[in-house]
Amino acid sequence: MSRTTKHASPGSCPSCGYRFEASTATHGRRAPKVGDLTICIGCQVALQYLSLDPLELEVVDLASFPTDIKVEVAHVQAAIRRAREQAGRAR
Ligand SMILES: [Zn+2]
C-alpha cells in the first residue's frame, strides 16, 4: 500500500467544494478509515471521514481534540500553505 489512497468514489470538501480523488497519509502507509482526520488541500480546513464509499467528509471543530492533534493539524495546514505559495510563485 502506498501513502496515497485513491478513492473509489470521489467526494467534495463541504467548506470549499474541492474534489477529493485521493488522500495521502502523513505517517506510514495506510488507507484512511472512518473517524480519521484529514486536511483539505483547497482551503486547509480540518475534516473528518464520515464514510469512505461514498466519500463523505464533515468540517470538524478541533477545540475538543487533544493538543498533539491540534499541533499536527497546524503543521499539515502550514505545509499545504507553503506548497501552494511555492506553486503560485512558480507560475
Ligand atoms: Zn476545502
Domain ranges in the chain?
A: 4-90
pLDDT at position 91 is 65
- Look up the CATH number of domain 4-90: 2.20.28.160
Quick check: bond before 54 cis, omega within 30? yes
Q: How far is the CA of 1 from the centre of ligand 1 (A)?
A: 26
Termini Cα distance of the chain? 33
pLDDT at position 52 is 93
Q: How far is the CA of 13 from the centre of ligand 1 (A)?
A: 5
pTM of the model: 0.87
From first to last of the 91 residues of the chain, give the pLDDT tens digit: 568 999 888 899 999 999 999 998 888 888 899 999 999 999 999 999 999 999 999 999 999 999 999 999 999 999 999 999 999 987 6
Q: How far is the CA of 77 from the centre of ligand 1 (A)?
A: 11
Q: Which H/E stretch holds residue 54? A: none
Q: How far is the CA of 19 from the centre of ligand 1 (A)?
A: 8
Q: How far is the CA of 47 from the centre of ligand 1 (A)?
A: 9
